[in-house]
Amino acid sequence: MTGPMRRMLLGVAVLGVFGVAAAWSLSAPTRIDAADLPAHTGDPERGAALFAIGGCVSCHAAEGAKDADRLVLSGGRAFKTDFGTFHAPNISPDPEAGIGRWETVDFVNAMKFGTAPDGSHFYPAFPYTSYARMRDEDLLDLWAYLRILPASDRANEPHEIGFPFSVRRAVGFWKLLYLDPAPVLTVGEDLERGRYLVEGPGHCGECHTPRSPIGGPDLSRWLGGGPNPDGEGTIPNLTPAGKTISSWSEAEIAEYLKSGFTPDFDTAGGSMADVVANTARLSDADRLAIARYIKALPPVGPAE
């Protein structure tokens, strides 16, 4: 091998090493330290309201759970996607099977950055792209509430994901594209409460916003509807261009979120029935704030 050839190969090897190092750095999980948290004592009562709008029960309680059993967040529900099947984890206070050994900062890092206590990435089946928009104080209130719920020793089931999606480190690149705590829409003060509830803890966009081929939310079509992630039918377009609720008044939307009854006396079904079970626990003011935000959405061409 000639000298120039050796030098060229050496240069390629050096560039490759730098490239791998850069990729490793770019894909690193983000997290904060406990010292970065605000001086705020979590309030379980406020946390209960955030728990309701956050829909934690819908994913983490046992399927078909009723009454008090809905507060046992034992996990186990399976969510089939184009990337594999994800199983909701146990997030009860159990110290072994659940998250009872987590510190407060572990919870905040999970919710805001999708980062596990061991420093690995959580898959975005966990809707941290929405929860990242929550205020730290609200996260601390929610954590205070979760800690007083019943514990379950139900073991977690492993996700069923094939290569290359099984490479968790690659989620870091996905986050560079889609994890952004900034508001989706800029609104006036009169709509800010509704924006916060819808875009943040309510994570409405996780179902009602279409996704890219790699599973990221297409914010240019915010709340414009799309295929049902459960595989049947479509998720409605919530904007004025949609045909489902575009004719509903603010009061009618708020009533639907309370009772599940539509203006023509139909009832919420499927996964929306679970959502209504959660939003029914909100205050009338918060349900109306959500309705006002929805009525103020810019139109997105119907995907229904």
Q: Is the pLDDT of residue 273 over 60?
A: yes
Instruction: Judge contact between 76 and 154, C-beta under 8 A.
Output: yes
**163 has a pLDDT exceeding 90:** no
What per-residue confidence (pLDDT) applies to 264? 86
Out of 3-17, 59-73, 156-170, least confident range: 3-17
pLDDT tens track for 169-228:
999 999 999 999 999 999 999 999 999 999 999 999 999 999 999 899 999 999 999 877
The count of other CB atoms within 10 Å of the CB of residue 113 is 20
Global model pTM greater than 0.95? no
- pLDDT tens for each residue of 19-31: 545 554 676 888 9
Q: Where are the domains of the chain?
A: 34-178, 189-295
In the predicted structure, residue 143 carries a pLDDT above the cut 70: yes
Model confidence band, residue 303 (pLDDT cutoffs 50, 70, 90): low
- For 283-301, how does the pLDDT look when each residue is reduced to its tens digit (9 = 90+)? 999 999 999 999 999 999 8
Residue 18: pLDDT band with limits 50, 70, 90:
very low
Q: How far apart are CA 140 and CA 28, in angstroms?
A: 25
Q: pLDDT tens digits, residue range 72-88?
A: 999 988 988 888 899 99
